[in-house]
């Protein structure tokens, strides 16, 4: 047994506001536990009530944080907790510096929190790696604008802390940079002044998502056996483009009255949820569309949702990877995805899924046409679903992804050691 500790540092980590980043960190940590390491998640109190927690056998330690801007309302602080907040936590820095027997620090965020990890690693003489989950080199301007809305017009008094923590040096000084999207890794290599960059896709618990109870899920949510069910799983957030999906679904439903749509995920933008509800009402789709504000990651209902679906759609305007596509594949479901970001290298058009362009003038019609095509062709649905399942099992099981991560850790440790020897 290796008693050294691997410290994962995400911006937040709570079970009731689960997303792709949380899934990745927890699954990696579980694999590391199995390998004999001691993974530990050290994070902020964002959206949390308890300072200490254990999730699936992994220790979670949380520390108080602030957003160093004058004039933030409670609603704006909450919005930053939910998405993209550039937090400051000196107690978290102190905890990282005190943590005994650290093997490596793994930052899952940038800005001041990434700088906190960088500073702790330098003070401890330990290596650190950074994962780019939400992207930085491959993010549309509209997405960046959404992230900064809560602080627009607010005076930021925390810039000196960012400078002291080396927030702008996090990627340059990292012993390795991990990109979950291939397009992001290409851009990172071009932008950074080093070659310590790897493309490491997210994984999936193939066996867990391979079996589910479709009929129980349909019965629970009032979906008839003859209904054609389309599902979308992801944060209720403008990035995920559920509004674009609704516009397409309205066209699809006009030709297929027995179609149903489920939008499943935690609400990170309440105003956007209201916009969705307004569209559903005005389009007279209340009987056909249901918003489910999250099914717990450890809930069997989440797995059952995939198995109950006829088609899975991910309509995002920006998506570094798309772990939900892997989950749908494991359930042998056909997928329709946006031709953006990491999805372009994850999905093979006409082989493991279908694409549409979310920014095209006819985006809604493109997506509606693909839904109509899959509804009409049972054989195509089965072929795409089985091909996706084979792809997931062959390339994306967490055990193999974590083995590749271990190789990156070892490379980072070698780089850190070489820096010490040069001093």
Q: What is the pLDDT of residues 274-302, one digit of tens each?
A: 999 999 999 999 999 999 987 776 677 99
% of the chain beyond a pLDDT of 90? 80
Q: What is the pLDDT of residue 19?
A: 80
Domain 206-395 CATH assignment equals 3.40.50.620? no
Q: What is the CATH T-level fold of the domain 5-203+397-422, as seen in this structure?
A: Rossmann fold (3.40.50)
Q: What is the pLDDT of residue 43?
A: 98
Residues 6 or more apart whose CB falls under 8 angstroms from that of 148 comprise: 84
268: confidence class by pLDDT, cuts 50, 70, 90: confident
pLDDT tens readout for residues 378-398: 999 999 999 999 999 999 999
Q: What are the structural domain ranges in the chain?
A: 5-203+397-422, 206-395
Nearest Cα neighbor of 296 from 79, 50, 56 is: 56
Q: What is the pLDDT of residue 151?
A: 66
- Judge whether 5-203+397-422 and 206-395 match in fold: yes
Structure-model confidence comparison of residues 131 and 420, the more confident one: 131
Q: Strands across the sheet with 289-292, in order?
A: 289-292, 259-264, 228-233, 311-314, 335-338, 354-356
Return the DSSP state at 5.
E
Read off the pLDDT of each residue in 118-128 and give the average, rounded to a whole number. 97
Q: What is the mean pLDDT of the chain?
A: 93
% of the chain beyond a pLDDT of 70? 94
Report CA-CA distances (Å) from 277 to 61, 181, 292: 37, 32, 12
pLDDT tens readout for residues 36-48: 999 999 999 999 9
Q: What is the pLDDT of residue 137?
A: 66
Residues 6 or more apart whose CB falls under 8 angstroms from that of 394 comprise: none
Whether the predicted pLDDT of 317 surpasses 80: yes
pLDDT tens readout for residues 199-223: 999 999 999 999 999 999 999 999 9
Alpha carbon distance 51, 380 (integer Å)? 49
């Amino acid at each position: 047994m290796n008693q050294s500790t691997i410290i994962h540092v995400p911006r937040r980590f709570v079970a009731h506001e689960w997303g792709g980043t949380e899934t990745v960190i927890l699954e990696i940590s579980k694999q590391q536990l199995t390998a004999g390491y001691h993974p530990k998640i050290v994070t902020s109190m964002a959206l949390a009530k308890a300072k200490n927690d254990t999730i699936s056998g992994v220790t979670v330690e949380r520390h108080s944080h602030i957003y160093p801007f004058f004039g933030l309302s409670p609603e704006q602080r909450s919005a930053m907790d939910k998405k993209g907040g550039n937090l400051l936590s000196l107690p978290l820095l102190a905890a990282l510096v005190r943590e005994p027997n650290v093997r490596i620090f793994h930052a899952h965020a940038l800005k001041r929190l990434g700088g906190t990890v960088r500073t702790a690693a330098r003070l401890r003489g330990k290596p650190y790696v950074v994962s780019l989950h939400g992207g930085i080199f491959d993010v549309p301007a509209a997405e960046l604008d959404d992230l900064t809305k809560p602080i627009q017009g607010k005076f930021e008094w925390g810039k000196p802390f960012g400078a002291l923590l080396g927030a702008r040096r996090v990627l340059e000084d990292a012993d390795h940079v991990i990109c979950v999207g291939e397009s992001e890794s290409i851009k990172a290599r071009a932008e950074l002044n080093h070659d310590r960059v790897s493309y490491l896709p997210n994984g999936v618990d193939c066996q867990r998502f391979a079996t589910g109870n479709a009929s129980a899920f349909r019965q629970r949510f009032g979906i008839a056996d003859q209904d054609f069910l389309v599902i979308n799983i992801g944060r209720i957030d403008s990035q995920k483009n559920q509004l674009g999906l609704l516009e397409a679904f309205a066209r699809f439903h006009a030709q297929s009255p027995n179609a149903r749509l489920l939008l499943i995920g935690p609400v990170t933008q309440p105003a956007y949820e209201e916009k969705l509800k307004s569209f559903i009402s005005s389009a007279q789709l209340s009987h056909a569309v249901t918003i489910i504000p999250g099914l717990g990651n450890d809930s069997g209902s989440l797995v059952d949702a995939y198995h109950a679906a006829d088609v899975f759609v991910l309509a995002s305007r920006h998506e570094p990877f798309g772990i939900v596509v892997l989950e749908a594949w494991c359930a042998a479901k056909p997928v329709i995805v946006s031709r953006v970001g990491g999805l372009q290298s994850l999905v093979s058009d006409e082989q493991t899924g279908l694409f549409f362009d979310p920014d095209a003038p006819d985006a809604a019609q493109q997506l509606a046409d693909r839904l109509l095509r899959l509804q009409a062709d049972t054989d195509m649905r089965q072929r795409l679903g089985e091909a996706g399942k084979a792809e997931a099992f062959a390339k994306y099981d967490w055990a193999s992804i974590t083995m590749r991560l271990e190789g990156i850790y070892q490379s980072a440790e070698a780089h850190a050691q070489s820096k010490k020897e040069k001093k």
